[in-house]
Structure 1
């Protein structure tokens, strides 16, 4: 019987690799890649809100103030035109009401902000705001224009439309609120 000698694996495989490769020369160090500065983060949502507010401002400038007989109407992009038509016809049950008659503009603004916040906290979906037609005002109806401007600015207001004649007509507005 002849015994063959089986080569024993070395304990250090990296030494075996270096022995098999032989002499190597080191490459010159490569310069570090030029890193371009990262772009500044953009506040896209704020830019969108700014564009929307600017568009709303320009719309108000072009149209001028609302008159006594003008109908209020507004809907956010995510709200369908069909929903706004249903609101205009009074198909939604009014869950609470705020009457702004005999309030000055500062009081009306405070009451309106508080009313919307409380209605939303109570889980109401549809409310009515009676602002009056402004027939006794000199010039444009101040409360009607105030209500229009404030409701458009609120993120929790999905849509609003002047009430049907039986619910106040152009002297009141029905408001759909975003769910909590």
Structure 2
């Protein structure tokens, strides 16, 4: 808008405004960017960032392990007892935690898987059940591929019918050695 376009009644107001702001410098816009892992005082934000970081660190979409996700899912980490998979298949080990991933996308599922493994280690739960459902088979294929990548997953097997059958997997978590009770 030009001063020439102003009506006579606004000319006085415009000149008053111009006199009031005379000598004012334009402010340079500074953008403040916080570090991703900056410590905040809200515990929930820090825990969410840690879960997201763990999910991004362990679970890659680019890595495709050599397991057949179309058949019965069966995995035992190298160096672990092969009998663990049989125990999971038969339902000898009951899950202590159950995670339902219905309705989640891959990114949300990664965060929830990282949180589940973290919770199992913190509370010393040895076995957990992950219900991914069948649906369009995205999570059915991705969840086992993610779990194979995590160093704390000892074994994994398709769940027995009472825990979800083809729509779920049972996992065993590698728990740290507990110090002897004194």
Q: TM-score, with normalisation over the residues of structure 1?
A: 0.59
Q: How many residues align?
A: 114
Give the Cα separation in 2 of the matches to 1:172 and 1:161. 9
Whichever of the two has the greater Rg, that structure is 1
The counterpart of 1:160, out of the listed 156, 159, 165, is 156
Unaligned runs of 5+ in 1: 1-55
Per-residue CA deviations over 1:119-175 (Å, capped at 9, x if unaligned) read 1111000000000023xx2xxx11112211111001100000000112111100000
User: Which residue of 2 is the match for residue 126 of structure 1?
Assistant: 127
- The residue that corresponds to 2:146 in the other structure is 150
User: Could you tell me how far apart the structure 1 residues matched to 2:103 and 2:164 are?
Assistant: 16
Per the TM alignment, residue 118 of structure 1 is displaced from its structure 2 partner at its CA by 1.2
Give the structure-2-normalised TM-score.
Answer: 0.58
Could you say which residue in structure 2 is the equivalent of 1:59?
Answer: 66
Provide the C-alpha distance between the structure 2 equivalents of 1:150 and 1:84, rounded to a whole number of angstroms: 18
1:111 aligned partner:
112
**Superposed counterparts of 1:1-180, under 5 Å:** 57=64, 59=66, 66-67=69-70, 70-134=71-135, 137=136, 141-180=137-176
Contact 2:64–2:145, Cα closer than 8 Å, also in 1: no
Q: Secondary structure at the match of 1:158?
A: strand
SS of 1:59's partner is coil
Gaps of 5+ in 2: 1-62, 177-182
Moved over 6 A (4+): none
- Aligned residue for 2:11? none
Paired with 1:80 and 1:142, the residues of 2 have a C-alpha distance of 30
